Structure 1
Amino acid sequence: MKKYLYLLTVIVTFSACHRNDFTVTGNVSDAEGKTLYFEATQIDKIVTLDSIKLKSDGKFTFYAPKTEFPEFYRLRLGSSYIHFAIDSTETVTFQTSGKSFTDYSVEGSEENKQIQEVSKAGSLLKNEVDKILSNTGTSDSIRIANAKRLLNALDQYKKTTLPIIYGNPKSKAAYFAIFQQVNGNIIFDPFDKEDSKAIRAVANAYDVYYKGSHRAKQLYNMAIASLQAERQLKQPTLLEQAKEASLIDISLPDIKGKQQKLSDLKGKVVLLDFTAYQTDYSPEYNILLAKIYKQFRDKGFEIYQVSLDNNENFWKVSASNLPWICVRDEASIYSTVANLYNVKNLPSAFLIDRTGAIQKRIASIESISGEIQKLL
């Protein structure tokens, strides 16, 4: 009798200890002897909360205190991850394998099923980006094919995630989708017109439902930065005030990280071109530039092309075999340089004479040959 009373006491005490906890449990087959980590994915760092050395049955259970607002976590086995989110004392159950850890099933949370859907879309995008990065070449056809493949891959990712974001912008899955990255580059750019709409939708929802949380503040700051960028582009610029008479110098890194200064090209006729390779017009546009460059490069002509792409990988792939100077401003449309040159649409180009003075803004790249010939 005393034995049973003791067991009952242990069970009651155990239950009381975890009354305000959430539970993450499940099974990882084919992983005996491996260590499974339970980690918190904070805004600025990853914190290990617990770990377990898996036995032959692969069972695991983790507990953690519930939080006031939704928080994000992950299970890690080696270099593979399962991402999920918690906002109550719920129990979430995962079933997976050590051989294919990210191919898992999840029960107990519909939102974590959506997070799984976002994760799968992100993995597909990363795989496609990696294939594109390995498929470099010097021909225009290869560059155009790579650009189209990447645009298509991004479109496919957003076709999966945008319904989740707009369907329930206050959801944990919507937040998770907004902050996904590929090779260190964000997918949803706060300075892109269409992407910023999705970000603001989630920011507004979090401000209403989770006001005061650090993630709501993070989203709010992103939304404000996006709005400021749009307003800044509408302000009169120094270039307008100077009536485009003098050169505003630019110093930005090329694909090898070397700083390239526009003023170093003094003595040549220069086409200063602001563009974004992550656009539909870019492949054909660069083919036109290539014809112009080939025609005049031996006569003292150079192109200084400034990319405002938010995706560094995309820029590097697209610019890797272009013969002219290609630099990138990582600030994207929040670029101070672009603002100074009154760039409100892409592409935007300017002709600079041998003295370093801006001669004119180019309205049509197709009719530029005559203007270049005059300056040469």
Structure 2
Amino acid sequence: MQDIIKKVIAVLALLGSTIIAQAQEEQAFVIKGQLGKHPQPAKVYIRYGSNDKAYFDSCTLKEGAFEYRGKAVFPAKVSLLLSRNGQKATWPYDELFFFIDSSVVQLTSKDSAATAEVKGTELNREYAQYARILDEKLKTTPPKDTMAFTDLPFWKALEAFVAGYPASPVALSELQSMSGGAETELEIQAVKDLYARLDPSLKTSAAGQKLIAGLEQKIRLLPGMTAPDFSQPDSTGVLTSLSAYKGKVVLLHFWASWCKPCRAENKHLREIYAAWRDKGFEVVSVSVDQDRGKWIKAIRDDKLEWKELSDLKPRNAAAELYKISAYPSTFLLDTDGKILIKDPAHDTLKMLLAKMLG
């Protein structure tokens, strides 16, 4: 269970790395490292967020040494991965998370990134304390096949950290990370309750306000809520709104041509659509592609016959509105345009369609 939990933590941590508000002034930062004596072509890959953008860069090691310079809005959380052969890293990653600010951050280890000692910035001393609490929770949490959101060790660790460091930006960053996994009303409320325990300086910050706004948007996407309307051009350029399909049972489907699981899902959706389209069922797909040619080719290759929409922008407005962080993602809507369920399994979808459309 601990390996699974650590993988979840890594994913959530990256989601939380872009908590800084938009359009703030970026400042220079420096990361210096000595990771063993790894020669070229060994590389470190560096990921961080700033001004609501995700950055991904790399540095080649020279006898284990590297120096990386960039700009970001402080504080920002960084993921650094070591690739000994210089190629794209695969799971399990040799990965280290830490924070950057105007101080020089220095990383030192005998061999790996994950075990590197981090020096520089008070935030990293606080983050090290959070890591110690988390390790203890991981060791003392009995393994279970299923666990409630608030029983997970990383949630318990964050509760303990917030109690001791309510004014630490680390607490806000980790809470933003955890909020990505909150899907039910109870889970969202748990995040809001922990947010309420933060120092007022964090709650009134741009990042704190962004977090609470995101939670309020999540509530508007729960079952029983009216699906937020939007309009985007279809594959022929005609502006089309979701509300135009009110009166039908709609599967709102988010995907991309480059997403392999999405392409596999398209085959199953095509079969379901063929069985129910004449009984009042409709699929409305939103692609987060930016390349129109690749999007249109995927539609043709997968023989998709339902309405396809996309604004072809780097951050698709509909995907942002529905807080989509994984693909494919779906919402099943009833004839009144209300959300019934998010990401129903194929059998569940068929059962609900049979119940509603008979």
> Do these two structures clear the TM 0.5 threshold for a shared fold by scoring above it?
no
Max Rg structure:
1
TM-score normalised to structure 1 length: 0.43
TM-score normalised to structure 2 length: 0.44
